[in-house]
Every structure is written in structure tokens, then in C-alpha cells.
Structure 1
Amino acid sequence: MNTNDLKIFEAVVESGSFTKAADIMFTVQSNVTARIKSLEEEFNAKLFSRTSRKVELTEEGKILMNYAKQIQHLVEEAKNEIISNETVNGHLTIGCMETTMTLKAPEILLAFGEKYPAVELEFKSDNRDSLISAVLNYKLDAAFVSGPLNISGLEKIKIKEEQLVILASSKEAGLNKLLAKEPMKSIVFDNGCIFRERLESWFSHKGIHNYKSIELNSIEGIINFVDAGLGISLLPEEVVSRYYQGRNICTYSLNKQLGTMTTLLVYRKGKAPSTALQSFIDMHIEDIA
């Protein structure tokens, strides 16, 4: 077995097809079939169940996929460590929520880039559950997520606490009158968003069960819809105070339980981080010390 066999194996898993995997790996389908057969012989196990439409992992295949991700990740880390010598370099992919992307990603990129110019730093935004899954499955090196969090496979560092507020249009006659409208309209991100969860918990606390959610995929869109009076939302207070002070938006405080959000930096447990990731972690430990 060589690492390229595992790359071919992962390509089949990701694409669900031997033909598509061949295209991804710039080879022919017969080679993909041969390499998968070689892996099955080596592990003495059937890795895929094949139908006329697609291929799916067997239970043995799922086990190998988990280890394949770890092996590929370790090989890349080894390459970076050997090449770097005394210079910190490599590639880091960091996950974050949309608000972190807006508020913090630019300054993190600037500060880390100045200190470690040989490291390629990439940010990807998503909801909390997807970010956690991506870290555990080696698709992200680390991620900024909301706490509390207690997952055995992750290390965590507390970064900061943020204050969350209700957002409503200042054109409206006040929050209480807004709450009396039926159905109440909320402007939110997709399911899995911590801000949506907090807003829906607040609705429940207020005894509001008849509401309609308008889903958007950007902070700018949410702000525009709230400004226009199309509904209320919930975001970190810092988003409004730093970037949207001139808009027709009023903010309303929440109780401590719903209004305080702890941001954590999480990464995989069980092995020492790469030099690049450890440098990224250390930079944030220094900032909060």
C-alpha cells in the first residue's frame, strides 16, 4: 500500500463513483478499480458495496476512511515539518462562524501573516455543528465555535465572551409592539446557527410560538432586512456598534444566560499539533493572557 492508494480510496468515497474518482485523480477507471482491489486484498475486507448507480462504504470501509484521513494529515504535517526546518510554514484551514469571519478574520490574517509569512492561512465559515464535524474529520485544522462544548475528541481554548442583542428596525414603535404582531418574523441564518437557536429560545421564553423565519446567508442581508422592518434578529452587539451604527436599527439586551456567548478555539485531541497550528494556538493564548 502507498499513500496514493489511500488518495484514490478517498476520491471514490467523496465522489461516490469509480469513474468520477478517476477524473479527480487524473487516471483511468481501470487503475482505480485495481488500486481498490489491492487495498481490499491487503486488508482482507470488502471496502465498498457496489450497485448500478453508486458505491457505498461498508463498515470496514468506514473504519479505513477514518484512518486514511489521519494518515494523509500526518504525511502532510511531516512534509511541512521537514521542509520548514527552523521556519514555520505550511497550510492551515481555520473554521469560523459568519460573525467571526466579519469581525475577526481580517485582523487575524494580518497579525498571523506578519508573524508567520510562510504559513498559508485560510478561513472557512459555517454553522457550529458543521465546523465541529469538519475539525473531527480532518477537513479543518481548528475552528472558532460557540461554547459550552464538551466533546472528547477536541481540545478547547476560551477566546472571549460576547454580548448578544435583539435587533429591530428603529422605524417600528418599539419591541413590545413588534412582539404583539402575528406572526412574528425573524431574520436568521440556516438551521444550526447559534444566533438562530438563541433567538428561538428567547421566543419560547416570551411565550411566542407563532413566528415565521426568513433565512439568509450573510450578515449584510440580515441587517438590510431588519433595517427595512421585515423582522427581528439576534447578533453580537459588536457587529452593530462597529459596522452598522448609521442604520435604522435598535438593539435590545437579553438576560445573561441568553445574551452571553463564549467563543472557543477547538482543535483535535490526541496528538501534538503541527508547528504551524501550535503557533496559531499560541498567538491566541498570548492575546487572552
Structure 2
Amino acid sequence: MNTNDLKIFEAVAACGNFTKAAETMFTVQSNVTARIRSLEQEFNTELFLRNSRKVALTPAGEILMRYSKQIAYLLEKARTEMQGADQVSGVLKIGCIETTMALKVPQMLQEFMEAHPNVDLEFTSSLRTALIQEVLNYRLDAAFVSAPINIPGLQADYIKEEQLVIITSSKVSSLTALAKENKLLTIVVFDQGCVFRERLESWLSAKGIVQYKEIVVNSLEGIVNFVETGLGISILPQEIINAFYARRKLKTFPLNKELATMTTVLIYRNDIPPSGALQAFIDMYKTGD
């Protein structure tokens, strides 16, 4: 077995088809078939369930896939670190939710790049559930997400607590009055998997509001714009409102402690050693906050 065998194995799993996997790997189908057969002989088990149309991983194949991704990740990290063995270097991929991107990223970029100029730092924003999967699948080195995190293989380091508030148009007098209006309430939210959306839906449920409309947007600015014009309500961190939208025509309302308090953690895999770049990032954040 060599690492190319594992790449072929991952290609077959991703494509669900030997022919398409061969095209992806720029080889012929017979070679793909031979390499998969060789892996199955080496591990003395079937890796794929086969039918006339598609192949799918067996339970044993799922296990090998997990280790294959881990091997590829470690080899890539080893390669980049060895190119600058006398200094912290390589590529570091960090994920965060939109609000963390707005508040923290510029400062983090500046501090980390000044301390470690040989590290290429890449940030991406997404929803909490997607970020967790990206870390689990080795596509991100770490991510800032909301607690709690109780997932095998993931370490969660405390970063900070934020206070969430309901935001409305400045024309709204009170949440009680809003809830009693004879019209269907509208919420302005990110897509499914967003912690702010989950908190807002929990608040609605606690108030006995089970029917409401939703406007789904994909940016922080979009949420604020829709809410300011009176099209709906939302939930965001108070710090975001204070820092960027204090002069907008918005009104904020407090939540109970359980819904208002959001703890942010930095997650990364704890079943493999962190790269030098990731360890430097973790150390900076632990000492910086």
C-alpha cells in the first residue's frame, strides 16, 4: 500500500463509481479496480458495497476513510513544516461564524502575521454545523464555534462569552406589543444550523409563538438591513450592535440568561498532534484573551 492507493480509495468513495474515480485520478478503470482489490486483500475485508450502478463504503471502509484523511492531513502538514523546519511556517486554515469574522479576524490577522510572517493564514466563515464537519474532515485546522461541544476527537478551548439580544426596528415599542400584534411575526435569520437562529426559535417557542414567517439571508449586514426597515426581528451579539450598528435605527431587548449567554470556543482535533502553526495560533489566543 502507498499513499496513492489511499487517494484512489478516497476518489472511489467520493465519486461512488470506479469509472468516474479513474477520470478524477487521471488513470484507467482497471488500475482503480486493481488498487482497491489490493487494499481489500491487505486489510482482509471488503471496503465497498458494489452494485451495477454505484459503490458505497462498508463499515470497514468508513473506518479506513477516517484514517486515510488523517494520514493525508498529517503528511501535508509534515511536508509544509519541513520546508521551514527552523521556523513556524505552513498554511493554517481557520473557520468562524460571521460575527466572529466581523469582530475578531482583522485583529487576529494582524497579530498572528506579525508574529509568524511565514504562515499563510486563511479564514472562512460558515454556519456552526458546517464548521464542525470541516474540522472533523480535516478541511479546517480549527474553528471558532459556540459551545457546548462534546464530540469525540475534538478539543474545545474556551475563548469568550457574548451576550445576545433581540434586535428590532426602532419603531417597535416592546416585545410584548410585537407578539400581540394581529399579524404573522417575521424573523430574519441565517440558514439552518445557525446558533442565533436556534436561540430565536427557542425564544419564540417559550412565548407560545409557533407560527411565524422567516427571511433567510447570508450576511450580517443583510440581517441588520432587513430588521432596520421593520421587516422582521433577529438575534445578534450586543457587542456587534455596539461596535458597528450603534447609529442605525435599531432597538435591542434583553433575553433571559440561558438564551442570552453564548460561549465561544476554539475547536480542533485532539487525536493528532497540532502543526507548529496551529500550536502557535492556539498559544497566541490563550495568552491574548
Tell me which moved more, 156-165 or 132-141. Answer: 132-141
Deviation per residue, 1:233-275 (Å, 9 max, x gap): 0011122222223322111111222111111001111332111
Q: Alignment partner of 1:162: what SS?
A: strand
Query: How far apart, in 2, do the equivalents of 1:101 and 1:256 lie?
Result: 24
Q: Alignment partner of 1:163: what SS?
A: strand
In structure 1, the partner of 2:7 is 7
Is this contact kept in 1: 2:172–2:251, CA < 8 A? no
Give the letter for the 1:171 counterpart. Answer: K
Query: How far apart, in 2, do the equivalents of 1:161 and 1:235 lie?
Result: 13
Give the letter for the 1:197 counterpart. Answer: E
In structure 2, the partner of 1:157 is 157
Deviation per residue, 1:191-226 (Å, 9 max, x gap): 221101111111122222222222222112111111
In structure 2, the partner of 1:127 is 127
Q: Alignment partner of 1:160: what SS?
A: strand
Query: How far apart, in 1, do the equivalents of 2:116 and 2:39 lie?
Result: 39
Q: For the structure 1 residues 163 and 134, does the alpha-carbon distance in structure 2 shift closer, same or farther, using more than 3 Å as the test?
A: same
Q: For the structure 1 residues 52 and 125, does the alpha-carbon distance in structure 2 shift closer, same or farther, using more than 3 Å as the test?
A: farther
Give the letter for the 1:120 counterpart. Answer: D
Give the letter for the 1:230 counterpart. Answer: L
How many Å apart are 1:46 and its aligned residue? 1.8
CA RMSD after TM alignment: 1.8
Structure 2 gaps of 5+ residues are none
Alignment map for 1:51-62 (pairs within 5 Å): 51-62=51-62
Alignment map for 1:22-171 (pairs within 5 Å): 22-171=22-171
Q: Alignment partner of 2:148: what SS?
A: coil
Deviation per residue, 1:97-126 (Å, 9 max, x gap): 121122222222222122212212222222
Q: Alignment partner of 2:83: what SS?
A: helix
Query: How far apart, in 2, do the equivalents of 1:269 and 1:183 lie?
Result: 46
Alignment map for 1:248-259 (pairs within 5 Å): 248-259=249-260
Q: Alignment partner of 2:246: what SS?
A: coil
How many Å apart are 1:173 and its aligned residue? 4.0
Q: What is the identity percentage for the equivalent residue pairs of Structure 1 and Structure 2?
A: 59
Deviation per residue, 1:124-170 (Å, 9 max, x gap): 22222222232223222111111122334222211111111101011
Q: Aligned pair 1:237/2:263, yes or no? A: no
Matched pairs, number: 288
In structure 2, the partner of 1:205 is 206
Q: Alignment partner of 1:190: what SS?
A: coil
Is this contact kept in 1: 2:166–2:234, CA < 8 A? yes
Query: How far apart, in 2, do the equivalents of 1:144 and 1:31 lie?
Result: 42
Give the letter for the 2:4 counterpart. Answer: N
Q: Alignment partner of 1:79: what SS?
A: helix
Query: How far apart, in 2, do the equivalents of 1:21 and 1:65 lie?
Result: 15
Query: How far apart, in 1, do the equivalents of 2:137 and 2:72 lie?
Result: 12
In structure 2, the partner of 1:177 is 177
Query: How far apart, in 2, do the equivalents of 1:177 and 1:170 lie?
Result: 13
Q: Aligned pair 1:261/2:265, yes or no? A: no
Structure 1 gaps of 5+ residues are none
In structure 2, the partner of 1:280 is 281
Q: Alignment partner of 1:84: what SS?
A: coil
Q: For the structure 1 residues 14 and 122, does the alpha-carbon distance in structure 2 shift closer, same or farther, using more than 3 Å as the test?
A: farther
In structure 2, the partner of 1:188 is 189
Query: How far apart, in 1, do the equivalents of 2:69 and 2:60 lie?
Result: 15
Deviation per residue, 1:23-70 (Å, 9 max, x gap): 332333333222222212222222112333322111121111011011
Give the TM-score, by structure 1 length: 0.93
Tell me which moved more, 73-82 or 216-225. Answer: 73-82
Q: Aligned pair 1:226/2:241, yes or no? A: no
